[in-house]
Amino acid sequence: MYNIPIMTNFKNAHKNIKKYIKKPHFQVFALSFSLCMIFFFIISKQSGSNIAPVAELDSEVAPIDNNIRNTLSNNIPQKINSFFGDMFSGLKEYSFEVKKGDSLASILSSLGICYSEILEVSKAIDPISSTSELKPDNDKLIVRVKPIDNQDSKIKAELKVLEIVKSPIYRVKAEKTTDGFRTMEEKSDITSELVRKEGDVPKGVGLIEAALAQGVPYNIIDKFYEIFSFDVDFERDIYPGDKFQIMYENLYSDDGDYIGNGDVVFASLYLNSRQQEFKLYRYENEKGIVAYYDETGKSASKTLKKSPINGARISSKYGKRKHPILGYSRAHQGIDFAAPSGTPIPAAGSGKVVFKGWKNGYGNYIKIKHNGTYSTAYAHMKGFKSGIKVGSQVNQGQIIGYVGSTGLSTGPHLHYEIIKDGKHVNPLTIKLPSIQNLSSQEIVKFNTNKDKINIQFAVLDKNFSQFASLIDINK
Ligand SMILES: [Zn+2]
C-alpha cells in the first residue's frame, strides 16, 4: 500500500464536521435532538414499564452506542425505546443492532414476547430469510409491540411488526394480522449520481491531500490509485502541477438515502514531469467483467507491477553501482525497495513459482515465471509464505513471502528483478504488456461507451454532482 496521510485525513474530517455543523439542516436536527432528550426524560419517568430504554430513537434504525452496550451485561440484547409509537398508536417500537451471540429469540424474549409468538414469526419469515442466520454487526431489527399490562405474567408484550433490515435497500417485514403473520420483502432501487472532481497537485502536498481537498472520498482515491498503479508509480511520479480528474458514482436508495460510493467511471492523470496524460474509462466487456481501459482500448491492468510493494522507497536503482558489501562495481540487476523486516511481498504478476529457497548472495529467493517472456525474482526474503512451493500457481498480488535481509544484504529490503527473454531489464522503465485487451469487435462498443462518458464528463459542472442514469452510459 502507498503511504496514507492519516493526519491530513483527520484534519479533513474535522473540517468537514465543522462545515456540517454550520449547515441549517444540522441545526434543525440538533434542536429536535434536544427536544427528544427532554421528552424522553419526561416519558421514561412516567412510564411504569420494566423495559429500561437505552436511548431515544430519532429515526427508524438508530445505531446503538457500543459504550452503552458494554456497560450492560453480556448477551442481553440492547434496545432503543421509541416513544413516537406510544403517542400515536399505542404501540412501542424498539430497534436493535444484531451483535454476536444475539438471536431472534433472545432479542424478542427480552421484550417480554411469548415464545409461541416468536416461533410463529420465525416460521413466517424463514422461507424468505432464515432467522437463524442473522448477521452480527450488519442486520438491524425493528420491533413494534403492544404492551401487555399484567403484573403476574412474564409476558409483557404482543408482537405486532418485525422488520429485519439487511441493508439500506433491503428488508424483510412481518406484520401480525388476524390470520397470523403476513410477510413481505421491501426492496429499494438504487439511483446513481455522477460526480465530477478535479484539481492540481500544489507544492508541498501529495495527490491524496489534493484530491481530499476537492472532496473526493477516500475510497475513490484508493480506487484511482489502484487503476493507475500499472502505469504510474505514485511514490515517485507525482510532482506539483500534476492534474487529476475523476468522475464517479454516488449511490442512493429509493428514499433518497445515501448508500455509498459506486465505481470510478472515468479518471485522468496528467504528469507534468513526463508531459503525459493518462485517461482510463470503465467498461463492462462481453463477459460481464468490469475493467478499465485507456483511450485506445488497452487494458489498464498489466501483466506485471512495476513495484510489487506499493509505497516502498527505492534504496538502490537498476544499473552499475558499487556493491555495498563486495566493494567493487558491478551491475545491479534489479531494484531495491527499502521496507521494514516482515513486510509482506505480493507477486508482481500471476504465474508459476519456479524457484524457492536459498540462492547464494540472494539469500531466501523466489522466482516466478509469468509467461514465455517474463519472469520476476524476489531476494533477501526473511521467509516464505506458507504453502508457496516450486510449482505453485500464484495470482497477481498474492503474498509469497516477507521482506528480510538474508544473503549479501546490509539491511531489510526487497531486491526485485524483472527478467525478459532471459535478460534482466529495468523494472521502472520497461513498458509492460496489457492483459484483458478488447477484441476488434469490442473496440467499437468500447468507443461508443467512451464517447458517452466524455460527453457526460463535459456536461457535468466542475466539482458538482448531477443525477444521471448510468444505465444510459453503459449501453
Ligand atoms: Zn538489490
DSSP string, 49-64: -SS---SB-SSSS-PP
Give the distance (Å) from ligand 1 centre to CA of residue 306.
Answer: 15
Give the distance (Å) from ligand 1 centre to CA of residue 444.
Answer: 45
Please report the pLDDT score of residue 115 as a whole number: 93
Closest CA to 433 of 372, 356, 380: 372
pLDDT string in tens for the chain (475-residue length): 333 333 333 333 333 333 333 444 445 444 444 443 444 443 333 333 333 333 323 222 223 333 222 222 233 344 444 444 444 568 899 999 999 999 999 999 999 999 999 999 999 999 988 888 899 999 999 999 999 888 778 888 999 999 999 988 889 999 999 999 999 998 888 888 899 999 999 998 889 999 999 999 998 998 898 888 778 877 778 889 999 999 999 998 877 888 889 999 999 999 998 889 999 999 998 878 788 999 999 888 788 887 788 767 777 778 776 666 666 666 788 999 999 999 999 999 888 999 999 999 999 999 999 888 899 999 999 999 999 999 999 988 899 999 999 998 889 999 999 999 999 999 888 888 777 678 888 999 999 999 999 999 998 876 454 444 333 333 3
Please report the pLDDT score of residue 47 as a whole number: 36
Give the distance (Å) from ligand 1 centre to CA of residue 307.
Answer: 13
Domain 47-187, CATH 3.10.450.350 — does that match?
A: yes
Please report the pLDDT score of residue 38 as a whole number: 44
Contacts of 257 (CB under 8 A, 6+ apart): 168
φ, ψ of residue 14 in degrees (nearest 5): -65, -45
Give the distance (Å) from ligand 1 centre to CA of residue 393.
Answer: 25
Strands (E), 156-257: 157-167, 170-177, 180-187, 191-200, 243-252
The torsion defined by the Cα of 221, 223, 225 and 226, in degrees rounded to 10, comes to: 170
Please report the pLDDT score of residue 289 as a whole number: 79
Give the distance (Å) from ligand 1 centre to CA of residue 413.
Answer: 8
Please report the pLDDT score of residue 175 as a whole number: 95
CA distance 425 to 33: 64
**Quick check: 91 and 142 in contact, CB under 8 A?**
no
Give the distance (Å) from ligand 1 centre to CA of residue 408.
Answer: 9
Domain with CATH 3.10.450.350 in the chain: 47-187, 193-301+438-474
Give the distance (Å) from ligand 1 centre to CA of residue 388.
Answer: 22
Please report the pLDDT score of residue 80 as a whole number: 42
Question: Which stretches within 244-310 are classed as H helix?
Answer: none
Please report the pLDDT score of residue 52 as a whole number: 31
Give the distance (Å) from ligand 1 centre to CA of residue 237.
Answer: 21
SS3 assignment for 304-350 = CCCCCCCCCEEEECCEEEECCCCCCEEEECCEEEECCCCCEEECCCC
Give the distance (Å) from ligand 1 centre to CA of residue 324.
Answer: 10
Strands laid side by side in the 276-284 sheet: 290-293, 276-284, 258-271, 243-252, 191-200, 465-467
Give the distance (Å) from ligand 1 centre to CA of residue 336.
Answer: 5
Neighbours of 300 (CB within 10 A): 23
Residues linked to residue 414 through DSSP beta bridges, in sequence order: 337
Closest CA to 238 of 2, 472, 474, 419: 2
**Quick check: 153 and 113 in contact, CB under 8 A?**
no
Give the distance (Å) from ligand 1 centre to CA of residue 417.
Answer: 8
> Any idea which residue has 481530499 for its cell?
212
φ, ψ of residue 243 in degrees (nearest 5): -125, 145
**Quick check: 124 and 183 in contact, CB under 8 A?**
yes
Exposure on the CB side of residue 10, measured as CA atoms within 13 A? 3
Give the distance (Å) from ligand 1 centre to CA of residue 228.
Answer: 26
Give the distance (Å) from ligand 1 centre to CA of residue 314.
Answer: 10
The long-range contacts involving 445-454, CB below 8 angstroms and separated by at least 24 positions, are 446/281, 446/283, 446/293, 446/297, 447/297, 449/281, 449/283, 449/473, 449/474, 450/281, 450/283, 450/295, 453/247, 453/265, 453/266, 453/281, 453/282, 454/266
Please report the pLDDT score of residue 11 as a whole number: 35
Give the distance (Å) from ligand 1 centre to CA of residue 81.
Answer: 64
Contacts of 239 (CB under 8 A, 6+ apart): 201, 271, 272, 273
CA distance 428 to 434: 16
Closest CA to 122 of 135, 133, 137, 138: 133
pTM of the model: 0.54
CATH class of 313-425: mainly beta
Exposure on the CB side of residue 126, measured as CA atoms within 13 A? 9
Nine cell digits for residue 253: 436508495
Give the distance (Å) from ligand 1 centre to CA of residue 332.
Answer: 6
Give the distance (Å) from ligand 1 centre to CA of residue 368.
Answer: 17
Q: Domain 193-301+438-474, what fold? A: Nuclear Transport Factor 2; Chain: A, (3.10.450)
Please report the pLDDT score of residue 144 as a whole number: 95
Give the distance (Å) from ligand 1 centre to CA of residue 183.
Answer: 65
Please report the pLDDT score of residue 172 as a whole number: 94
Give the distance (Å) from ligand 1 centre to CA of residue 416.
Answer: 7
Give the helix/strand (H/E) hosting 443. helix 440-459
Give the distance (Å) from ligand 1 centre to CA of residue 334.
Answer: 6
Nine cell digits for residue 269: 492523470
Please report the pLDDT score of residue 106 as a whole number: 93
Give the distance (Å) from ligand 1 centre to CA of residue 378.
Answer: 9
Domain with CATH 2.70.70.10 in the chain: 313-425
% helix, strand, coil for the chain, step of 5: 25, 35, 40
Neighbours of 5 (CB within 10 A): 15
Please report the pLDDT score of residue 86 as a whole number: 44
Type of residue found at 260: G
Give the distance (Å) from ligand 1 centre to CA of residue 376.
Answer: 13
Please report the pLDDT score of residue 227 as a whole number: 87
Sign of the alpha-carbon dihedral angle for 87, 92, 98, 99 = positive
**Quick check: 418 and 427 in contact, CB under 8 A?**
yes
Give the distance (Å) from ligand 1 centre to CA of residue 335.
Answer: 6
Please report the pLDDT score of residue 259 as a whole number: 85
